[in-house]
Chains A and B, each alone.
Chain A
Amino acid sequence: MSHITTINVKVKDLNILEQAANKLGLELVRGQKTFKYYNGRTGSCEHVLRVKNNRNAYEIGLVKDKDGVSYNFDTDFFSGGYGLVDVVGQNCEKIINGYAVGVAKKSANEIAATWGATVIEEYNEQTGETQITLRRY
């Protein structure tokens, strides 16, 4: 049975989300107030993530968190969201990971600049884990 799933992401930086989305083959449509899901239904949102070049795929609505600042994801995974899950991963893991890595890189570089540290980034292909190290001697 189809239903909307809310994923607690707390996205604060739309520019970083957009970069992560583009890498996966998604586009961020700022200001689109409805997202498409099961059988032509639509839900309310502030912005939309949609799969590029696949008009059948369900969309992800960015909905304001109760904190009034950040956004969470509303979407429908029924039947793989007709191509959506292939792009964003189970429970949006790929896009959440991409966003988290982007935010961590930005924060690490900002701290490194004021703290006087070097930044080292490593990716483990076996585990899918990214490690960002700030080091100061």
Chain B
Amino acid sequence: MEEIIIKIDKKGKSTVTVNGVKGGSCADLTKRLESSLGEIVSDKKTSEFYQEGESCEVRITN
């Protein structure tokens, strides 16, 4: 299963988490979201990133 989870807090800050996306798609997907949601303030690879699928978390401010 592949998932993109976008969380928007009460103040409008967004966090994007991508789980289980294989290949280089993870960065592509978050890049598309970044261009519309706002500026990236942090970007970290989770432990699953180096395993079979990719997982990453991106914090975006707008």
Contacts and interface: CB of A to CB of B under 8 A. Distances in A.
Contacts of A137: 1-2
Nearest to B34: A107
Classify chain A's interface size.
Answer: 20 to 34
Interface of B: 1-14, 29, 32-33, 36-39, 62
Given A96-B62, A97-B10, A129-B10, A103 B37 contact: yes
Q: Which of B3, B6, B37 has the most CB of A within 10 A?
A: B6
B10 A9 contact: no
Contact of B33 (A93, A107, A117): A107
A10 B39 contact: yes
A136 B10 contact: no
A104 B33 CA distance: 8
17 contacts: A10-B39, A96-B11, A97-B11, A100-B37, A100-B38, A104-B8, A107-B36, A107-B37, A108-B4, A127-B9, A127-B10, A130-B7, A133-B5, A134-B5, A135-B1, A135-B3, A136-B1
A108 B6 CA distance: 8
Nearest to A92: B12
